[in-house]
Structure 1
Amino acid sequence: MLTIYSSHHSLHQGVELKDGAISESFEKPVRAEAILRQVKAAELGEVISPTHYERHHYVGAHSERYVEFLAHAWDEWTATGRTCQALPLVWPVRGLPATAMPQFIDGKLGLFSMDAGSPINAGTWDAVSASANSALTGAEVLSKGTNAAFALCRPPGHHAGREYMGGYCYLNNAALAAQRCVQQGARRVAILDIDFHHGNGTQDIFYERKDVLFVSIHGDPGVSFPYFSGYADERGAGEGLGSNLNLPLPRATTFDLYEPALLQAGVAIAQHGADALIVSLGVDTFESDAIGHFRLSTPDFTRIGRRIATFGLPTLFVMEGGYMVDEIGVNAVNVLLGFEGRA
């Protein structure tokens, strides 16, 4: 299986507001490095660098003004004399009357953020654009006839909505890949999100579209991040009604409960008539993950890969979450080996 990877991911190392304190982010460069080591150890296949894409390729899944904000935010922040990482100060919550985009960077950070876990620093734009380019490159190789590929994206993307960043995510890599598949001729595309956390950003982007099905298996948002999306009654709107399927599961879910949800996802994907499948590959469903609450074991990830292979679609795996660095590479690659029937 072809892997697309850029070392530019290491240019971004963030901090986050968690448990009332600013601390080093769980989402760090060693995550991608651990996965790459395992890709090579497993002799998964060729590793290539992503194609370069200009910023306009990110518009569509995201708004133009949001992409421009991300590209220039660090310069605007440092122009004020500040050199620390940029985090939002205030958010446009319910009841505030203003609708115009703020002119000052502090206001822009609040407008385009959903939390205080996605800082911007000097290397953020180069890292997130390289991550997005990895997913776009994966979509390109799928459109040219490749059956499966792995975009080793970092930072991840599925919490990034059309006009906001959050949950360690800035550009929505899976959404960009799905959009690219449509542009390259796919009539219908399915996105399967198996990260522990609901892919609220992906849902936001495609909620009113019928050509892209979004299916997410995740922790119950009543007790798990992102809290405000991921409920079973969120089914899409307008033309997209019925093209959004959330399968929330309780804390301490094991594979015995997880597998029926995966089977249900497969039925929905088949009914959608997809020409291509994008998998948001999060392995924070692992039993020892630092910020997940499922109880999947390392062999379970092989089973997941085998099941996804039965869907019978050209498939692009896009890396999302997973925060146990010692196990993240093994668990992620087990999905890929299971898909290929090699484990």
Structure 2
Amino acid sequence: MTQVQASQRSIAIISAEQSHQRNQTLVVRAVHNTQDSPMRRTLDAYGIDDTRGTLSQLNREKYHVLVKKDRSGAPDLTLGAYVSKQDEDGYGNFNWLNPKGLIKYQTKDVAVITFTSKDQLTQLSATYSETPLPGFLIKTLNAEDCLDTFLNRRNASLAEFIAPVDLTQHGYLIMPNSPYCDANVLDTYVNAPETLKNTRHGVILVTYAIHPSIHSAFLAARHHPSGPIRLEASQQTSQRTIDDKTKLESLTSILSLKQEHLPQLEKLRDGTLQHLRDVYAVNEHDNVKMFFHFPVAEKTATLHLHTWVNKGDHPLNEPRSFDLDAIITHLESGKDIGDLVLSRNEGSYFIPTSDSIKDISGIPFKGLRDNALNLPL
């Protein structure tokens, strides 16, 4: 019979135990763990401060920012910044604000636009109607060579058209917001869009309302049901001209939205979320924002929705950002969009001085003031 020998303990283990026994006396520094529990006593014995309570207080300020600074302490805005917002981001969760957005909004002064009546909003809507569709959108609709058409030739799934519920409604064209992306990021949109939500860049999309009578070579392959009157997208045609020919009002800003648009806005929300799931692998754990800006510049005066996933924001951008859900809720209550605009910060909007909004004819520009909405850099 084979004799089974008693197991031998590792010499290394024995040596370690003997060493521990020789060094049982710990040098314990003063600590502040006050609760009487086995864990607290263990931390005390090893001289470890449990500072979770203190750390949890660090997010009491509205914004926390990580930004690179030079030796003099001046922040380098060209590298962007990481921003954590109270009540929105969990502790230790920072989202990147890209340099273009940081430089635009982190300014000494802001232009103040103050609306005091619906007549002023009506006048601004009339001004927007006199503008043509934005030039970059016209190029895309006509399938002309431009950054967005090149991008979608490389990956057709990046552009999706949410068809109108009927021919009295606009459709919506979703695309990456390419001007805010460098070449390397655009390559990621093409080759691995599902990875973007976990990069510092996040996902940034823009979605344009498309009048049902616009004939588009680009949208023809995306099942755009052009109406009985077919109009070419042209820089020479104002949106008011389109309205007069079709007897259907263009959507130039949130001021154009009414209760009758609710079914399409709900379809826009649902379609956008499905697009995010299908193309960008977005799920319930991601931070998704869908919002319209107001007021907007004349050169971009077609209703367009911004969609961000896991992206940092600047406090100056927030007052003029109207969440899609807030718009839907407001319209469902039977109220006019003008009421929502006039109630936001008592009708005052703060715009970067570099923006052309303050120069729109007839807009109630009230001058410049110090930017009180800068990030604490």
Q: TM-score, normalised by structure 2?
A: 0.22
Higher radius of gyration, 1 or 2: 2
